[in-house]
Chains A and B, each alone.
Chain A
Amino acid sequence: MPFLVKDTALLEAMAFVWLEADRLDHAEFEDWLAMWTPDAHYIVPVEPGTGEFETHLNYAYDDHAMRCKRIERMQSGVSVSASPVARTIRSLSRFRLLADEGQWVDLRCMQRLTEFRRARERTYVADMEYRLERGAEGFKIGRKVVRLINADHALGGISYIL
């Protein structure tokens, strides 16, 4: 059965966020930073289901400058919780294209991330919402929202990017 146009968009979006995940797990942060539009936000909200981010408390509400700082912190060797940086391996699955408006698509999927550091293993599971914007060189991330399944409960220290 041939793919429909919509399936192509889904496959392209999947390939793109897999690339993003791979870059994060393999510490290719310069390339990761270049995957975003200039005014995009990386958001980890506290309240499950909220659609209001700016006026609510988040774990992270990062514009470009904050993303750069987060990476600087991880790489500086000065932060005791990020020296060494936790090893992470994440998988993304259950992809669904929620909208395709030509200029942009909305992709939802799940992420299961395992962290290992100082002989301890931890897992964070999240619903991911990506706004991906189409440009001359393909997709850029217009917004990434990480909805942790336990966001409104106690987490461990997370000195890396989800």
Chain B
Amino acid sequence: MTETVHSAPGRFDAMLKEDRALTRLYTDAALFEEELEKIFTKTWVWVAHASEIAEPGDFKTAKVGREPVIVTRDRKKNVHVLVNRCRHRAATVCEVAKGKSNSFVCPYHGWAYALDGSLRGVPYEESYAGKLERGALGLRALRTEEYNGLIFATFDDTIEPLVDFLGPARKWIDLFMKQSAGYPMMTQGEHRFTFPGNWKIQLENTTDAYHFPLVHRTFLNLTDGETEDMFDLMNKGGWVEDLGHGHSVMIMMPELVDLEDGLDAPFPEKFSALAEELRSEGHDEAKIRRIVRAVGGAGFNLNLFPNLGCSAAFFRVLQPISVDQTEVRHVALGMKGGPVAANVARLRIHEFFQGPMGFGSPDDAEVWDRVQQGAQGGADLWLMLNRSLENEEATPEGTRRGDVSSEIGMRAAYRQWKTMMEA
């Protein structure tokens, strides 16, 4: 008797194949609810960069799926991710986006929680006749782990450690962080915008070089010639790599993969004024080369399933709101303690493309919106994810890659989606 290995037929086989999907994935509200439960509560979700809560007492609010959380740093500098829900009768205990505090006091009846979530104060406690189990009534804490400044949290205590979840993506995170040029990386504010479409449309886009020459034609027309050449993505020898667990990386500018390499290469002319300014401030030439080379960010987009992109020079954070509504944050990055002129240059580059008034993002948001609209038609027609399916190849590191406009990154994300939804 020969033994054949069949994978069990999956629930989603009819709507999602290796190289195509039905638009139900964008439009089915029940599926969206299921995603929140099976994906967003069962995987590592990015909640903060370490610099956003650098000092003891610092906090920010965020979301894991749809659940509101507070990310805090306690007196011992430990990071906590706490569900922003009072254990008495559910009021949020914090409605400030970012700040510094010793405790969170619920506005309803005054229960007070420490930075680690433990319940510290209950007004008029005598009415509980000594039976209130304070120790069991802290804010719910999520499992929290950090890699190279990226803080992730999960509701699931059984999944793999963060480092294993990231796997080969770690190398790309390390490369990405080199753009702070030897200074600690810091966030420098963020743009937030919503678009009327499903979150996965945005997810797909982070490794979609195919749209760039068309959707961003206006950006290419308005930028300088050097930048236009840099963004000639289809002809630069870039590639997309499937990093496992739904993660992928799109290398757009191979010469800017490792920002500490090629420091002897001449500066682009557009940065000569910045270099001159740094010289006049007395910085040494080696440092200036490092800063200027990194000012436009790394030459790749790293897409971490399900909600973070390390995109060239910024973090892209994706927040599902409903089946057809998504919020996107573009977090600007800079060098903590670095030269102001260089951080300002980074801000102006960010403003030029990113955010609701940039010369790039509104065009992205418009086509994503159009995808959601179009997906109302042809429920039986496939979304094609088969671009460059035929030329996938193995890398020495054991991952798989395709050319720069390959849809391999999307295939990787949907494979992870299916695995999690069928689990």
Which residues of A approach B to under 8 Å, CB–CB? 44, 46-47, 54-61, 69-70, 72-73, 76, 78-82, 152-159
Contacts and interface: CB of A to CB of B under 8 A. Distances in A.
16 contacts: A55-B347, A56-B189, A57-B188, A57-B350, A58-B347, A59-B356, A72-B222, A73-B359, A78-B221, A79-B217, A79-B359, A81-B365, A82-B362, A154-B192, A155-B194, A156-B356
B389 interface: no
B356 A69 contact: no
Contacts of B348: 61
Interface in B316-333: 327, 332
Interface of B: 97, 188-195, 215, 217-218, 221-222, 327, 332, 340, 343-344, 347-348, 350-351, 355-357, 359, 361-363, 365-367, 370
Nearest to A152: B97
Given A57-B188, A59-B191, 19 more contacts: A55-B344, A56-B189, A57-B332, A58-B347, A58-B351, A59-B357, A60-B357, A73-B218, A73-B222, A76-B218, A76-B221, A79-B218, A79-B359, A81-B363, A82-B362, A154-B327, A155-B356, A156-B195, A157-B366
Q: Is the interface of B mostly helix, strand, loop or mixed?
A: helix
A56 B215 CA distance: 28
Nearest to A57: B189
B184 to A, nearest CB: 18
Given A57-B347, A152-B97, A159-B362, A46 B218 contact: no
B357 A69 contact: no
Q: Which 4 A-B pairs have the closest CB atoms?
A: A57-B189, A157-B362, A81-B366, A79-B218
A70 B188 CA distance: 24
Contact of B190 (A57, A78, A79): A57
Nearest to B362: A157
A59 B359 CA distance: 11
Nearest to A56: B189
Kindly name the residue among B191, B343, B361 whose own CB sees the greatest number of chain A CB atoms within 10 A. B191
Contacts of A82: 218, 362
A95 to B, nearest CB: 25
Contacts of A44: 357
A125 to B, nearest CB: 15
B218 A61 contact: no
A157 B351 CA distance: 13
With a 10 A CB-CB cut-off, give which of B340, B350, B365, B370 has the most chain A CB atoms: B365
Contacts of B370: 80
A76 B222 CA distance: 10
A81 B189 contact: no
A57 B327 contact: no
Contacts of B332: 57
B188 A81 contact: no
Contact of B215 (A46, A59, A80): A80
